Amino acid sequence: MARVLEPLRPLVSLFLQAPAPAETAAAATNIAAAAGTGPEIAALIQDAVVDRRLVSYALVHAGVVDEVGEVTQAAPLLLAQAHAMVAMSLEEGWELVLTVPAFLTESLNEMSRDNGGPGLPLDTGRTIRHVAESAQSHLVIAALYLHPSFAATVAPALSTLTEAGGTGTVITRALGRSAPDRSNANVAAVEVLRGAAGGGLRVCSWDESGLGIHFKVVLADDQLAYIGSANLTPGGTRSHAEAGMLLRGSRVKALSRWLHVVADELARRS
């Protein structure tokens, strides 16, 4: 069965990028069942996902449409199977997230080809933005190093969140004037986030000697989280080889609890 479902995995990965993955997969299934067209299915998915350029390729790879974009006879069943896979992934799932610098792009493409198609890992920068944009009640941004340009990419999501009554927490280091090796980049990034949050932001900093904290996490609503090696900087999200994962489900709650414990202790120490 796993081998039969393997061609659907790239399409499932795309559905999981959508703000409402199961609903998007169900809508695509309904279009196929109602004798809709390939372009209609593709447009629905493209409007909901980040990697729009991969949609047509994934639909062909899955057998939902043929090489000229016509819906296949098996499309309703295949999309229903993809919908079920999405639902299972949302319960307890994770996906590989990578930052791939230019010198490794071809190696990644070869890895993908050797493993049967376009099942490419998620991109770090896009994944972090997706997590931030999904937050409806609380967003946690935690990293050793921040950068104003990264802060600017998530500022709109933070602003939308706080305007709707939500809150944010930032956990980083070296913000205080007395901190050893005070980080001007971290200070500037936090100022961008404070401006976006309009008062709805809690900032906690390790201002003692040593690194103090080393995790890199962006977490939304105890339901969705990026965790990995990438600092929240241009290098971490674009230029360095980094590896992480996108987590969903109940396991995110344990990570969230730990981050809040750390934030409380940093606040106490300050």
- Residue 99 counted as domain residue: no
Pair 76, 146 in one domain: no
Pair 82, 6 in one domain: yes
Q: Which two tokens stand for residue 174?
A: 């070296």
Pair 172, 243 in one domain: yes
Pair 254, 132 in one domain: yes
Q: What is the pLDDT of residue 138?
A: 97
Pair 207, 163 in one domain: yes
pLDDT digits (tens, 9 = 90+) for 160-173: 999 999 999 999 99
Q: What is the pLDDT of residue 2?
A: 47
Distant-in-sequence contacts of 176-185, Cβ < 8 A, 24+ apart: 176/205, 176/207, 176/270, 178/207, 179/205, 179/207, 179/208, 180/208, 180/209, 183/145, 183/146, 185/145, 185/146, 185/147, 185/148, 185/233
Handedness of CA 118, 121, 122, 123 (dihedral sign): negative
Q: What is the pLDDT of residue 113?
A: 67
Pair 132, 187 in one domain: yes
Specify the pairing of strand 92-99 against strand 201-206.
unpaired
Pair 14, 88 in one domain: yes
Pair 85, 132 in one domain: no
pLDDT digits (tens, 9 = 90+) for 9-41: 899 988 988 878 889 999 999 999 999 999 999
Identify whether the C-beta of residue 246 lies closer than 8 Å to the C-beta of residue 226.
yes
**CATH number of the domain where residue 156 is located:** 3.30.870.10
Among 92, 115, 139, residue at a domain's last position: 92
Distance (Å, whole) CA 212 – CA 232: 17
Low-confidence ranges of the chain (pLDDT < 70): 1-4, 91-92, 113-120
- Residue 230 counted as domain residue: yes
Q: What is the pLDDT of residue 205?
A: 97
Domain count, the chain: 2
Exposure class string for 145-169: b at 16+ Cβ within 10 A, else e: bbbbbbbebbbebbbebbeeebbbb
Pair 79, 169 in one domain: no
User: What domain range includes position 250?
Assistant: 125-269
Distance of CA 178 to the CA centre of its chain: 35
